[in-house]
Structure 1
């Protein structure tokens, strides 16, 4: 009996030591495991979606490695140290967007990148997906909650400046995500429901004004296509029609890996980026799609747990904003691919091909790890 007790105790000691080691390295075990699962699944699906393009697969694997290094590095930084540099990060982010406005690299009719020939090409708006919620969390954590009318207006102004610059690129999808990331921090901060209702009512004339004065013709066409894809089945409605055909043809268990017809016969455009979940659904069916959604839900649940357990106001607001923004990522992409939302060009997190987006997402989870593993300091930011 004593030997059994000793064995049980030793197992508990091993588990405790492992947990302590991860804590000292500032790594959250559940988050790391779920992210590694998504990384492996992404490469598996991307190989098929890209038409067995090994070079593209190696680029994505390299981006995962860079993103993992970025995540682990950011996790070592204490949240209070992050908070000190948030204002500078916001200013630098806006300045980079102004550089894009003046001398950005144009591709496919949009000017969204800064290109340094022979060195790097990156999309500055991606970094605002982390900088924006951090900025609003830093600003609101310096005063009492719920936020006053003045603090709410200042927060909205801080959100609005980069959103307007990103809309001019034009990049509606990224602008929506950055708007959501800042708005979610306000929501977590306890924004009054009366003000939320007022903002929803005010959104109606704003949307009408955007339709006539802000949206480009191709963006309006996407909304027309969303409402009636069959109106132009060989033109703007092609993507949605083929995407829904791919999802439906997969059935419950799918056609099998590398056996999808919509992507491999080039019926499905952008199969390795925005519409990659259609490839996954065709080859792995409803079961594969549900397994992916389960991993996403576990990631979101873990983020909400970290939000609740955060010991500082800055950490709580930032963790909540990042987690809810990640939910919007998943919701918008799956909604647009399945025809429930207009197409706005939002990639599927960790699954779609894309280097800057992937590194930004991993960096965001590095911030969550930092908030969770640096819980001893209690000084107000």
Structure 2
């Protein structure tokens, strides 16, 4: 094997983290959440370590432990449902010194699992469908509709990319069109339905379900070309946009850094997606290719959905913006995934027979 010098991906990662830290600092400055800046700094440093550790782990290892990772992932998802609800949901397991979100681990594990079963057998579709369905159901019961849709989206795109189950994909699309109206009527919590209704008619729900989105749009619009400046955004500084350090952090970027700042962020994400695309092209076997597709799908859904809900173009689902929104579990999983693809970008495989050495 010949080693390549891959420097774009780690530099891109560090720049995104720095951008996120600056924005979180502004979003939390002088508030009761001010200490979250230092916590995120700790998580980002730890995530960088995870990035470089996973870049040293062979893909053969990940394939060998996939079964156990699925088992532990499902166990954690069951455990979290047994805990007392917090604000109406059960999403976090508190370990005392830190908390983690089992659904973030499940999102990572399901990609590994689908890549393994699809690359090993055509009959893997049944096993993949069962495990994905069970995972999505447990996350839905938390309830976490955004992450449930994320898991289903990962299954769809990885199944499509496998090029083995075209008829099944068509059946799933048809079934989805039939089931979706029924699910929206009978399967959603009241607040989830209100989010969809407020997305369709924000003016009617401007003081309730659509409040966050409307305020985020106003904040982004007030930023103009160059923004109000760091710590100078009125909507941000005076708390007009709730959850502006998590779900609605893009509104802080728009208000304080303006169009220039949002375009800079989109440029960083574009570079990231191009590097992931290049990794998929360098994949020496079906497992690594499908793994790359799953990770690309994850990042793309996160970026499009979060920015879309900040702009009022998509319903609010609570999906974080990668390396920008506050959160330890998410940044660790994102970094681990990029570390795995950094390995692909850094190694030029000369013979496919050596693919397992990845």
Establish whether residue 306 from structure 1 lines up as the match of residue 305 from structure 2.
Answer: no
Secondary structure at 2:99 match in 1:
strand
* Cα distance in structure 2, aligned partners of 1:106 and 1:64: 28
The partner residue of 2:80 within 90, 96, 100 is 100
Q: CA deviation at 1:210?
A: 1.7
Between 1:290-299 and 1:256-265, the stretch displaced more is 256-265
Partner of 2:88: 109
Query: 1:284-312 CA distances to partner (integer Å, 9 max, x unpaired)?
Result: 11111011001101101100100111112
> TM-score, with normalisation over the residues of structure 2?
0.93
The partner residue of 2:261 within 269, 283, 288 is 288
Between 1:182-191 and 1:326-335, the stretch displaced more is 182-191
In 2 relative to 1, CA 70–249 (structure 1 residues): closer, same or farther, beyond 3 Å? Answer: same
Q: CA deviation at 1:379?
A: 4.4
CA contact (8 A) 2:28 2:36 kept: yes
In 2 relative to 1, CA 198–345 (structure 1 residues): closer, same or farther, beyond 3 Å? Answer: same
The partner residue of 1:124 within 102, 112, 116 is 102
Partner of 2:11: 33
Unpaired runs of 5+ residues, structure 1, are 1-18
The partner residue of 2:228 within 236, 252, 255 is 255
Q: Report matched runs for 1:169-184 at 5 Å.
A: 169-184=142-157
Partner of 1:16: none
Partner of 2:138: 165
Q: CA deviation at 1:335?
A: 0.8
Partner of 2:39: 59
Q: CA deviation at 1:282?
A: 0.8
Unpaired runs of 5+ residues, structure 2, are none
Partner of 2:355: 378
Partner of 1:187: 160
Establish whether residue 196 from structure 1 lines up as the match of residue 175 from structure 2.
Answer: no
Secondary structure at 1:274 match in 2:
coil
In 2 relative to 1, CA 182–375 (structure 1 residues): closer, same or farther, beyond 3 Å? Answer: farther
Aligned residues: 351
Query: What is the alpha-carbon root mean square deviation over aligned residues?
Result: 1.9
Between 1:298-307 and 1:190-199, the stretch displaced more is 190-199
Query: 1:53-101 CA distances to partner (integer Å, 9 max, x unpaired)?
Result: 6521110010001111111111111001111111110111011111112
Secondary structure at 1:378 match in 2:
helix
Q: Which has the larger radius of gyration?
A: 1
The partner residue of 1:354 within 304, 327, 348 is 327
The partner residue of 2:341 within 356, 360, 368 is 368
Secondary structure at 1:271 match in 2:
coil
CA contact (8 A) 1:274 1:348 kept: yes
CA contact (8 A) 2:59 2:356 kept: no
CA contact (8 A) 1:105 1:112 kept: no
